[in-house]
Structure formats: C-alpha cells, structure tokens
Structure 1
Amino acid sequence: MDKLYAMEDAQRILQIAIAQETESGELTQQQLLEIAEELNISPATLKSAEQEWHIMKGQAEDHRLFQSHRRQRLKGQFGRYAIVISFLVILDFVAPGGSILGHLGFSLYVALFWGLGLSLKAWRTLQTSGERYERDLDSWRRKRSVRQTINGVVNRFLGSA
C-alpha cells in the first residue's frame, strides 16, 4: 500500500528536494515548467500560480514597508517626547518654589498623560493584524500611491523642461 502524505507535507518534501537538487538554489523558468510537467501541472495552472505568488510577494513587501514606516514614525514620536519632557523637567527644577511632589510639578503630569498616549500608539504599532491594522495599511497604500503618482508627474514635467 502506498504511503499517503498530507498536501502540506508533500509540498515541503518537494521544496527540500528541489533545493537540494539545484546547486545555486534557483530555478530557471524552463526548469520550473519541466517540474510542473512531471507533476502533471498544466502550464496555465503554473502561470496562474506564478501570478498569485507575485501578488502575495508584493503584499508581503507592502506589509514589511508599512511596519518599517510605522516603527520609524514611532521612534520620531518617542524622540520628541524625550526632548520635550526633558525640557519641562529642567524648567521645573529651575523654577522657583516647589510643589507637593517636590520639584516635579507640571512636567510630571505632561509626562504621564503624553506617555499614556504614546504607549497606546506603541501598542497599536506592534499589532500586525486585525481590522484596524488593515484600515491603516489601506490608508498608507493610498497615500503612497498618490505620492508616487505626483512624483512621477513632477519627474516627467521636470525631465521634459
């Protein structure tokens, strides 16, 4: 009796075998077609799978760029927070007269409330799934698309001038 493999297991075994068989770890399109033919996969199905793979690869790159953008923005917000709070703490220490909390008065309240808001933004930035994340990602994609369109028009205009 033939041994049965789950589809995922069979795919993983074939991936490992193909990786071991090819020296450079890369396949030409002709080699890919030959493998598909040996597996009784039609060229149309292979072409469709390749298109789907390109879409998935593009989406993964979008997610990576979006996460990088969000982390950079968060770093900037933390930097502004640190600078402003440091300045306020220095002002509290330099200002005459103390408060109930010692020398930290106004700066402590600003640090706490701004810090709370910043913590919530950090938590949201670390979330990489869910409805809110998808909405933010779609918004970022639209803005990036508009920015790329405007840059293309400006470059064409400047290039022809």
Structure 2
Amino acid sequence: MTAFEPQSIRSYSQEDVQQILHLAIARQANDKNTEFSYEQILEIAAELEISPDSLKLAERDWLVQQGQVQQRKAFDAYRVRRFQKRLGNYAIFNGFFILSNLLTGGGISWSLYILLFCGLPVGLDVWNTFQIKGEEYEIAFQKWSRNHQIKKTISTVLNKWFKALQV
C-alpha cells in the first residue's frame, strides 16, 4: 500500500489497527506528556464501537497482567538481592583467606585454590540469577510465587487471629 492511495481503498487487519493506534496514542502521550482519564478511554472505545463491557473486561485483564509484571519485577529484585548477598559472603570469605595467606606466607599460594574452587558456585549463581528466560526461570518463579502467596496467606490469617484475640 502506498501513501498516495485514496482513503476509501485502504483497509487494515485488526492487528494492524491495534499497532497503528498504539503508536498514535504513544506519540500523543509523548508529545503532550498527558494521561488519559477513564472517560476519555470510554469515548475512544465508543468511537471504535467497543462495548463498555468489553472495555471493562479488557481493563481487568490489563490489571491482571500488570500485577504479573509487578510480581516478576519483585522476583527479579529478590534474585539480585540474594546474589549480592552471596557475592558479599564470597568476597569476605576469600578475602579472609587471601589476607591470612599474605600474612603467613608472604604471597598468594594456597588461598588461590580456595578462591578458584569457591568461584565456581558463584559463576553458576551469576548464570542462574541473570538468566530471565527459559523453563528453569519459570519453575523458580512459580516456586517463589507459591511461597510468597503462602506467606501472605499465613500473615493475613495471623493478623485476623490476633485482632480477634484483642477484642
């Protein structure tokens, strides 16, 4: 399709329309640095002949997706914090052995073996921490998510129980 075709001849697939509108809305938001109110979204939907019920369902699905995105960000931050803690432990542990080797022998001899031997798990931890795709990541995320939900549920139950005891 060329830019010179009359407007009546142009036709687009649903996916093309979504992409064009997405780009137009993003460009308008960047130009004006504004946000859209729910009423504006309703008006846009009405012009596109999208029912309010469909819009509400889409908004609910979007909120669920945003919650999942936030959970994944929290999981990734948890993994980075856990890695930083392990890296700090590794540095302290090996720093102690290197310092003791320097003080007792005047050089780095046997502590180098400990440094290399302990460096292997740290290297594997780097790989596992910063690999954010694949089946292993999904399994780790699901496990973390379940544990997180269990902790949240237990906390809620205990809070309700303590409030009931205080009354």
- TM-score with structure 1 setting the length: 0.83
Cα deviation for residue 4 of structure 1 reads 4.5
Q: CA RMSD in A?
A: 2.4
Cα deviation for residue 117 of structure 1 reads 1.1
For 2:74, which of 65, 73, 84 is the aligned residue? Answer: 65
For 1:34, which of 43, 51, 62 is the aligned residue? Answer: 43
Structure 1: gaps of 5 or more residues: none
For 1:10, which of 7, 15, 20 is the aligned residue? Answer: 20
Cα deviation for residue 113 of structure 1 reads 1.8
For 1:131, which of 135, 145, 164 is the aligned residue? Answer: 135
Distance 1:65 1:130, change over 3 A: same
Partners in 1 of 2:11 and 2:76 — Cα distance? 40
Identity %: 33
For 1:152, which of 148, 151, 156 is the aligned residue? Answer: 156
Partners in 2 of 1:20 and 1:76 — Cα distance? 39
Deviations 1:127-148, CA, capped at 9 Å, x for gaps: 1111111000000100101111
Which is worse superposed, 67-76 or 33-42? 33-42
Deviations 1:50-108, CA, capped at 9 Å, x for gaps: 1211111011101110110000000000110011101111222334x68xxx5420x22
**Equivalent residue for 2:109?**
104
Pairs aligned (count): 155
Deviations 1:8-37, CA, capped at 9 Å, x for gaps: 432224413663798741312x32222101
Partners in 1 of 2:115 and 2:159 — Cα distance? 44
Partners in 1 of 2:99 and 2:30 — Cα distance? 63
